[in-house]
Chain A
Amino acid sequence: MAVMDLNVSPLGQVEGDLDVRVTITDGVVTDAWTTAAMFRGFEIILKGKDPQAGLIMTPRICGICGGSHLYKACYALDTAWATYVPPNATRVRNIAQACETLQSIPRWFYAIMGPDLTAAQYAGALPTRKPHAASRRTSAPATRRA
């Protein structure tokens, strides 16, 4: 039985710092550990501060998905203060959230993960789509209402 420990530090192409340690037994990954060793202590900083400080501080936890953190910081205040949130406010928040998703997905795919797909090892590993669109749907949807 050949056991090998692999320590990858840093593991790039992620947001922030990440290290990975994997144990490989006979060519198969049998265990894995991840470490993200960066600490800023936002929770400690926010303790005892103005409740609205969360609206400034919380989104800066992560620069990629800051909008999501901001949404939840708002949500926390709304809950704590029992704020009446008008339906249009929720819609505006949802549109903003959707915009973040819209920019996040292409960024992750094309700028961060996509370049890996050009590596020689991937040649032949990815399924290629058949040229005929007709083969994509084999049966009609089961029910159709007018």
Chain B
Amino acid sequence: MASVLWFQGGACSGNTMSFINAAEPSVVDLIVDFGLEVVYHPTLSMELGKAAQDIFWSYAKGEKECDIFVFEGTVIEGPNGTGRMDMFAERPMKDWVSDIAPKAGVVVAIGDCASWGGLPAVPPNPSESRGLQFDRGGKKGGYLGPDFVSRLGLPVINIPGCPAHPDWISQIIVALAAGRAKDLDLDELHRPRTFFTTFTQTGCTRVQFYNYKQDPKSFGQGMRSGCLFYEFGCRGPMTHSPCNRILWNRQSSKTRAGHPCTGCTEPGYPFGDLELGTVFKTQKVAGVIPKDEPTGMDPASYMALAGLSRAVAPQWSKEDMFVV
């Protein structure tokens, strides 16, 4: 039996919606088979007003202990550090976080916003939004500070994504509910390695076109062929996510559907701060060299490989090979 307290700060509820869509395991499995006790969830719980406040205070004062504190959305510090841009149960949400997080068994940040600020933290960050333990760009710190640990001595566990995939969330919660928190192997951004070591590109159906440096010629023209890295800003080769292994809706992924990966599991997302000319467009140096090389590549080796690949590209790679 593990208790979960779930709060939403500067959030869109997208991660909650993702969570209730989970299939392996589902939310019902979590509650019925894994004994998860949801002590409060803003969308799903029936308590309101005073009854809800009593629950929050019992955890904030330490009269009760929760095993898992899930936070979705940014911690809003605005205006001027007061946190009054996000009021919850008659207090700034950030004050609830300060009181509850250190007393929780483990703290889980779900989605980019809770992990490192996400979209609300894009400059000029009008709400002074921060992640729980990281800031936008991946600098350790965030609202709780770089040295924060929960009651079990663990840092904030980040499950990024905009939103996170339903099964990344429910599978990590199963591990936590089963008391395996300390067995989770985390990377330097506190992401569970089991999900965030391979790339979005791992399993992408366009890899053959990536290999021969062929792009789809135009955006969104029923493009099943061609790789989106060269012109359309795909971040698949430098984004750690299992989007092409654990498919969305068990069916597809952005890149399979012809949409470039925007790198939403990384703290730089959205890259280029959405400035003019940075959206769905590969950023290049001197007009030809991609500004961001695939992870682990240097510009010189990249250019050598790309030149060779394009020169030897077979005819089929330039055509639509998906014949209907």
Which residues of A approach B to under 8 Å, CB–CB? 7-17, 19, 35, 37-42, 44-46, 48-50, 52-53, 55-57, 60-64, 66, 103, 107, 111-112, 115-116, 119
Are A37's CB and B87's CB within 8 A? yes
Are A107's CB and B20's CB within 8 A? yes
Cβ-defined partner of B276 (8 Å) among A9, A41, A49: A49
Are A40's CB and B276's CB within 8 A? no
Interface size on B, residues (CB 8 A): 55
Are A50's CB and B278's CB within 8 A? yes
Residues of B contacting A17 with CB < 8 Å? 8, 42, 86-88
B58-66, B119-127, B191-199, B237-245: which lies at the A interface? Answer: B119-127
Q: Is B280 on the interface with A (CB-CB < 8 A)?
A: yes
Q: Is B12 on the interface with A (CB-CB < 8 A)?
A: yes
Which residues of B approach A to under 8 Å, CB–CB? 8-18, 20-21, 42-49, 52-53, 74, 76, 78, 84-90, 118-120, 122-127, 129, 162-163, 262, 270, 273-280
Cβ-defined partner of A9 (8 Å) among B9, B12, B18, B53: B53
Known A60-B14, A63-B12; judge A45-B277 contact (CB<8 A).
Answer: no
Are A41's CB and B126's CB within 8 A? yes
Are A62's CB and B12's CB within 8 A? yes
Residues of B contacting A56 with CB < 8 Å? 119, 262, 270, 274, 279
Are A55's CB and B12's CB within 8 A? no
Are B48's CB and A50's CB within 8 A? no
Which 4 residue pairs spanning A and B have beta carbons closest together?
A63-B14, A41-B126, A53-B274, A37-B87
Residues of B contacting A61 with CB < 8 Å? 12
Known A50-B276, A52-B280; judge A12-B86 contact (CB<8 A).
Answer: no
Residues of A contacting B127 with CB < 8 Å? 39-41
